[in-house]
Amino acid sequence: MPIGRRVAYWRGRRRMSQQVFADRVGKSKSWVDKIERGARSLNKISTIADIAAILRIDPAILLDRDTQPSDTGERAYGVERVRAALSTYEMALDRRVPGRDVLPAAQLAASVEHAWTTYQHARYPQLIEGLPDLVVAVQRGYVREPRAMRVSLVEMYRVTASLLVKLGETELAWLAADRAMTIATGDAVLVAAAAVQLGQVMRAGRARSAVPIMLAAAYRVAPPDLEGGPAAQLSLCGTLLVQAALAAAQHGDEKATARLIDEAVELAARVGDGHDYHRTGFGPTASAAARMLVALELGDTGEALAWHEKTVGSVGWRWLPAEHRAAHLVDAARAHLQADEPAAAGKLLLEAAPAEVRYRPVARDVLAQVMRSPDAPSAIIPLAVALQVPVG
């Protein structure tokens, strides 16, 4: 039912004439008639909130009567299941695992690949549901076949850490990232891959300490000859330089930030867009998105928004994983809020993958700030109601 018809329905339920209703809203009877016929749209949250208050209903009823409740409980339950899975210590205890309880290494490797694909498509509910069983299965597989399962175990811990960082579960993400680093020890490429997630975790509270760790892993994996070096290694090196730059920006070291992001951009040009080596998505477009985030961390809102426009306007934008694009749009929304442009911020939230806003605490905070503005787009109200963010 269009919003105008809902207004008319509830006005009738409250036994108000169009004139009485118009007087209470502070509009003309003609304005009310146009709204109810759909000849005029309701696109301001402040007006919708006022109408809802006069009609004595929740604003969400005017926009989406079938809005589902928040899935916060489901998310919390999923995190606890992941915590329980990470709390098994069969590897450390060298506990024997019955053969019937261990899946073939190739099948487990395929399952880990599927988990990464699910994450990069921003299908977080599905990943939360299946990840706990995968953690247990891969850990058991490693006990039986450590050499064959090493890479799969590191990758499983990496995707687990990435998801937990996304969900704001930093301490649990630290456990997964630390285990990935431990299992990867001795292999420079595996260590560099695991260090990407370690950098994400450390930026959430240990940014200053993250810089030297990221640089050590980056320069260790960098090929001696950058001109002809393998693109996969350049991608890891560049991604780690981005992590170091973001960490430097977080503690205000502008000089180091500029140097590190310039190094990353140089490597990105050598790699090119359209690749996803080691699940990094690294390339010129990803480095442009990183420049936006660096500027945002340093408080340069204008620069951040300029880099946002360059990022989404590039050919490589559509080649980035959905998760990468959604995360960028949320960060760009933060920049618009800093620029006192809540309407623009709200529109970017609507463009992002729905799960990014539903499951990422930072995105929910942005949504809450947007909803406090009378200029927020009305289309975002159903999402706010579903996430139990106050409307109006």
Give 49's pLDDT tier (boundaries 50, 70, 90).
confident
* DSSP helix, strand, coil percent of the chain (3-state; round to 5): 75, 0, 25
Which pLDDT does position 210 carry in this prediction?
93
Which residue do the tokens 């549901």 mark? 129
CATH of domain 3-63: 1.10.260.40
Which pLDDT does position 68 carry in this prediction?
47
Which pLDDT does position 78 carry in this prediction?
87
The string of DSSP letters for 208-242 reads HHHHHHHHHHHHHHS-S-TTT--HHHHHHHHHHHH
Q: Residues 320-332: what's their mean pLDDT?
A: 97
Cβ-in-10-Å burial (0-12, 13-18, 19+) of 295 comes to buried
What residue ranges do the domains of the chain occupy? 3-63
Residue 64 has pLDDT above 80, yes or no: no
| Separation CA 13–CA 9 (nearest Å) | 6
Residue 65 has pLDDT above 60, yes or no: no
Which pLDDT does position 100 carry in this prediction?
61
| Separation CA 188–CA 167 (nearest Å) | 28
Q: Residues 18-28: what's their mean pLDDT?
A: 91
Please give the model's pTM, rounded to 2 decimal places: 0.83
| Separation CA 127–CA 123 (nearest Å) | 6
Residue 177 has pLDDT above 60, yes or no: yes
Higher-confidence position of 93 and 382: 382
